[in-house]
Structure 1
Amino acid sequence: MIDKLSLIAVYPELILLLMGCVIALFDLSVKSRSRTATYVVTMLTLAVVAALQASYASTGQTIYAFGHMVVSDVMGNWLKCFATLAMMVTLVYGRPYAADRDMLRGGEMFVLSIFSLLGMFVMISGNNFLVIYMGVELLTLSSYALVALRRDHTQSIEAAMKYFVLGALASGFLLYGISMIYGATGSLDLQEVLKAVTSGQIKHQVLVFGLVFLVAGLAFKLGVVPFHMWIPDVYQGSPTAVTLMIGGAPKLAAFAVTVRILVEGLTPLAFDWQQMLMLLAIASLAIGNFAAIAQTNIKRMLAFSTISHMGFVLIGMMSGLVNGHAGAAGGAYSSSMFYVISYVLTTLASFGVILLLARNGFESEEISDFAGLNQRSPFYAGVMALCLFSLAGIPPMIGFYAKLAVLQALIASGGTLHLALAVFAVMMSLVGAFYYLRVVKVMYFDAPTCSGEVTAPFEVHAVLSMNGALLLVLGLLPGGLMALCASAIKQMLTS
């Protein structure tokens, strides 16, 4: 029999599951081509879930449910709250775009977005390898369908096929790693795995062999080199609204799963997985930034930039434990959490502008499409410039403080190698600044290729304005969000 505490822990997930089914049935009676009623019900559902997650997080409680298979803690609840808000913003930005391209003939986009969010929730709450894998599959299967949602568009279908094939490969890596860890420890529960590994009675080689496959699967979900090959093609080929769904909120879930598995389950193997993360971070920073320079398609450029940003997230993750001591763990992991939240916030605004400039029959995907944007719409050019400055790590944007926090954690962990990596990361950030500032130059100094003022629906304008303002405000006053991340990580480490 399911106890009451277990149900309380998964109320948000139950609401999403129930409303996903209700919205699928409700949409059958909606006749409007813009699916206004379906959109409103979806947004109300997400607003309720976000408020519920925020209230859970504010209590500061940790609840283990369903025989320790699920955990509801402060870190998970805040990440789920932010993921829900990111999905709401994505739907606000993406709905006009989807309506123009006849992607709202049914309510699939809204239903699949809810189920993909449910997959993220399961990933974030998973305290058992099997539960985490179920969440990963629910998210990825929903994402495959979303990428192929524009059924008459060849590029979208091709992107969906690539995503499906490479996603299946990554799932195989993850499953094989899980099976090796299970074979060695005899358990799928993260706490039991931790106890078994800590006992020292299991062959180190077997554990490391399974760890390699686990890290490979996680690296695919984060999109870091050498498991990055799907990102540029899927970002470019997907409808832009779906690109934002893939490039935004799921990064929060991928970060949570990485923390759950590596920090909560496999801390005794930290020396091994930290070395792996270091190599992945170095490769991601180098290849992501240098490959982005050659791109003329802005979605593809932002895809390669994503790879480099995930390299920064890994730098924070690999700085937590030094010679087996966890003194710097809280600061390091909280800097990674802050970085991934700031990255998602910036990504939402940048793709919001790209979606805004897209018109019926025209995709605003080339960097040249942004030529003279300041002359057509100084406000939206300003918002895009804020996003690019933040991504480049230029003060006083939030992206600058995020990079600074990660580099501080890296340097604080000590060691000549870590100092060299910090210098390398700064050099790669300078490379990244080139291709971001190139877009700013095109917006402000090139002659416009088309005339006419850029207009947006009221809700899109309002949300985009707040989104852009947050990049600046949180850059000037990052203390509140940083304290929230530090508190969440501290509670996770001590529970």
Structure 2
Amino acid sequence: MNQMNWLTISPEILLVVATCVIALVDLQVTDARRRLTFWLSQATLAAVAWLHLGAMLEGLGATGAAASVYAMQGLVVSDPMGHALAGCASLAMMLTLAYAQPYIADRDLLKGEFFVLALLMLLGILVMISANNFLVLYVGLEIMSLSLYALAALRRDHAVSTEAAMKYFVLGALASGFLLYGMSMMYGATRSLDIPDVFNAIQTGQINKAVLVFGVVFIVAGLSFKLGVVPFHMWVPDVYQGSPTAVTVMIGGAPKFAAFAITVRLLVEGLTGLAADWQQMLILLSVLSMAVGNLAAIAQTNLKRMLAYSAIAQLGFMLLGFTPTVIGANTLSAANGYSSAMFYVVTYVLTTLGTFGLIMYLSRDGRECEQLADLSGLARRSPWLAGVMTVFMFSLAGVPPMVGFYAKFAVLQALVTTSVTGYIVLAVVAVLLSLIGAFYYLRVVKVMYFDEPTSQEPATVAGHGGVGALLALNGAAALGLGLLPDGLMAVCRDVIVAALAG
């Protein structure tokens, strides 16, 4: 616990060094499409993903506490769950950059700082995922957030983007303040900033309970801002709509892994002893998010804004996996709930990346494909693109055999198998609200297949064949994981069990 153990954080060290090198190399790049910078970034992300996923497999081969390794004087923890989330975040960023590069190049936004900020954002995500201390969590959060604020303001001459970036910055700073204040109250109640020490203090009763509960309230509020769930969701629709679509997909993609990780590290690993308090808050946040997100999305005609409200509802559904799993100290029940929530996050990010990637693919000649009407008659212009979009919409709606159906089923199963009446009622409410949400997803399919096209030009973009192939693979993954979900579900279960055991 008192060792530096630099090898444990070698992927993060590699990412920092490579980011600095890429920033310097880009100064000499004259190619307008920044191909060298792009491929160096992709190579870096691939190396980081390979290191983390390899470490995950190695950790799963260990037993019990041996699967968790501490570094940097105990400030950082290396466990299979962290490596799995970090590997997924790196792969998500690779896919994001691949979708974004042609889009931002066509709009004269392709600068070296786009790639550097994207890599720094990933660094913040990795720090949050591996944090074993409140302050390390906060440092990672700020690295990620500051990079996203700058990316949201990438279109400096665009009034809507500037407004969105300002809202994101102000509300994000407020959320960080909530989280930091909650952490300070945690320190006052337990006299420690290390997550394991906080857990031990709560278990032994050496705490100021009143101060601790107030700290939990502020921490849950700060987490809710970062997750974008009701009632702390007000920034999500404006930022999704106002940011360049390449930045919107960054906000809606890899950071969700960090949000899941910080929820596990703080609430599960640190505050299990207060589960009865924070579970009630998560239930309320979850139901409100599913209700407000799904109902508000019905009224939207802007695709990005609709997907923003969809994200609010989807993350509300994911939070259900945290609600029935701790009371009674049943590790098996806990693993079931948390692993279903992790599976949900992974598959949601996969589907979201493909959805926004397709929106960017259809945007051309400076014109954005942002309105629902822009998809009118897409099936006649490009049947395969309409088919891929249908897969994504069905997955988000939870229609079998797409992966989104199994993700929702896994979370509902975690609720129902508790055999507690309250959780069964909660599962019924979640199903009913998901049925409401299916309307606006199916409306997209209806527009593509049954409305008259507003344009007769072909939907396939010349020179963007690589992106088209990625979209096809992304759609195939959403369908394939729905047909064969057991492998991914088993990995999620194993890494969660290893994290709880460590």
Q: After TM superposition, give the deviation of residue 201 of structure 1 in Å.
A: 2.9
C-alpha distance in 1, partners of 2:305/2:387?
Answer: 22
Residue 475 (1) aligns with residue 482 (2): yes
In structure 2, the residue matched to 1:409 is 414
2:495 to 463, 469, 488: 488
In structure 2, the residue matched to 1:372 is 377
C-alpha distance in 1, partners of 2:415/2:319?
Answer: 11
2:160 maps to amino acid: Q
C-alpha distance in 2, partners of 1:107/1:83?
Answer: 21
Residue 49 (1) aligns with residue 48 (2): yes
In structure 2, the residue matched to 1:102 is 108
Q: What are the residue-to-residue correspondences of 1:431-446 with 2, within 5 Å?
A: 431-446=436-451
What TM-score does the superposition give when structure 2 sets the normalisation length?
0.97
In structure 1, the residue matched to 2:63 is none
Q: After TM superposition, give the deviation of residue 415 of structure 1 in Å.
A: 1.8
Q: What are the residue-to-residue correspondences of 1:254-269 with 2, within 5 Å?
A: 254-269=259-274
1:154 to 159, 173, 177: 159
C-alpha distance in 2, partners of 1:3/1:266?
Answer: 23
1:346 to 343, 351, 355: 351
Describe the SS at the equivalent of 2:122: helix
1:65 to 71, 78, 97: 71
In structure 2, the residue matched to 1:91 is 97
Q: After TM superposition, give the deviation of residue 327 of structure 1 in Å.
A: 3.8
The range that moved more, 446-455 or 300-309, is 446-455
Unaligned runs of 5+ in 1: none
Q: After TM superposition, give the deviation of residue 326 of structure 1 in Å.
A: 3.7
Q: Are the structure 2 counterparts of residues 326 and 487 from structure 1 closer, same or farther at C-alpha, using a change threshold of 3 Å?
A: closer
Instruction: Work out whether residues 285 and 425 of structure 1, in 8 Å CA contact, stay in contact via their aligned partners in 2.
Output: yes
Q: What are the residue-to-residue correspondences of 1:250-399 with 2, within 5 Å?
A: 250-399=255-404
Q: Are the structure 2 counterparts of residues 140 and 184 from structure 1 closer, same or farther at C-alpha, using a change threshold of 3 Å?
A: same
Residue 234 (1) aligns with residue 233 (2): no
2:175 maps to amino acid: A
The range that moved more, 55-64 or 423-432, is 55-64
Q: After TM superposition, give the deviation of residue 323 of structure 1 in Å.
A: 4.0
Q: After TM superposition, give the deviation of residue 414 of structure 1 in Å.
A: 2.7
1:78 to 69, 84, 94: 84
1:23 maps to amino acid: I
C-alpha distance in 1, partners of 2:139/2:365?
Answer: 38
Q: After TM superposition, give the deviation of residue 360 of structure 1 in Å.
A: 2.3
Q: Are the structure 2 counterparts of residues 5 and 480 from structure 1 closer, same or farther at C-alpha, using a change threshold of 3 Å?
A: farther
C-alpha distance in 1, partners of 2:246/2:172?
Answer: 20
Q: After TM superposition, give the deviation of residue 4 of structure 1 in Å.
A: 8.1
Q: After TM superposition, give the deviation of residue 151 of structure 1 in Å.
A: 1.2
2:14 maps to amino acid: I
Number of residue pairs aligned between Structure 1 and Structure 2: 493
Q: Deviations over 1:138-186 (max 9, x none)?
A: 0000000000011111111110000000000000000000000001111
Q: Are the structure 2 counterparts of residues 5 and 54 from structure 1 closer, same or farther at C-alpha, using a change threshold of 3 Å?
A: farther
1:206 maps to amino acid: V
C-alpha distance in 2, partners of 1:482/1:51?
Answer: 20
C-alpha distance in 1, partners of 2:418/2:400?
Answer: 24
Q: After TM superposition, give the deviation of residue 127 of structure 1 in Å.
A: 0.5
In structure 1, the residue matched to 2:136 is 131
C-alpha distance in 2, partners of 1:244/1:294?
Answer: 22
In structure 2, the residue matched to 1:466 is 473
Instruction: Work out whether residues 321 and 327 of structure 1, in 8 Å CA contact, stay in contact via their aligned partners in 2.
Output: no
Instruction: Work out whether residues 189 and 209 of structure 2, in 8 Å CA contact, stay in contact via their aligned partners in 1.
Output: no
Instruction: Work out whether residues 318 and 341 of structure 2, in 8 Å CA contact, stay in contact via their aligned partners in 1.
Output: yes
In structure 1, the residue matched to 2:64 is none
CA RMSD in angstroms, aligned pairs only: 1.2
Q: Deviations over 1:271-301 (max 9, x none)?
A: 0000000000010010000000000001000
Instruction: Work out whether residues 376 and 452 of structure 1, in 8 Å CA contact, stay in contact via their aligned partners in 2.
Output: yes
Residue 218 (1) aligns with residue 217 (2): no
Q: After TM superposition, give the deviation of residue 215 of structure 1 in Å.
A: 0.3
Describe the SS at the equivalent of 1:10: helix
1:312 maps to amino acid: F
Q: Deviations over 1:13-57 (max 9, x none)?
A: 111111111111110000111111110111111111111111111
C-alpha distance in 1, partners of 2:141/2:270?
Answer: 17
Describe the SS at the equivalent of 1:29: coil
2:429 maps to amino acid: F
Instruction: Work out whether residues 372 and 443 of structure 1, in 8 Å CA contact, stay in contact via their aligned partners in 2.
Output: yes
Query: Share of identical aligned residues, percent?
Result: 59
The range that moved more, 454-463 or 12-21, is 454-463
The range that moved more, 388-397 or 11-20, is 11-20
What TM-score does the superposition give when structure 1 sets the normalisation length?
0.98
C-alpha distance in 2, partners of 1:269/1:326?
Answer: 16
Unaligned runs of 5+ in 2: 60-66
In structure 1, the residue matched to 2:32 is 33
Describe the SS at the equivalent of 1:281: helix
Instruction: Work out whether residues 5 and 63 of structure 1, in 8 Å CA contact, stay in contact via their aligned partners in 2.
Output: no
Describe the SS at the equivalent of 2:27: helix
2:313 maps to amino acid: S
Q: After TM superposition, give the deviation of residue 3 of structure 1 in Å.
A: 8.9
Residue 19 (1) aligns with residue 32 (2): no
Q: After TM superposition, give the deviation of residue 324 of structure 1 in Å.
A: 4.5
Describe the SS at the equivalent of 1:41: helix
In structure 2, the residue matched to 1:173 is 178
Describe the SS at the equivalent of 1:68: coil
C-alpha distance in 2, partners of 1:218/1:83?
Answer: 18
Q: After TM superposition, give the deviation of residue 200 of structure 1 in Å.
A: 1.2
Describe the SS at the equivalent of 1:149: coil
Instruction: Work out whether residues 75 and 194 of structure 2, in 8 Å CA contact, stay in contact via their aligned partners in 1.
Output: yes
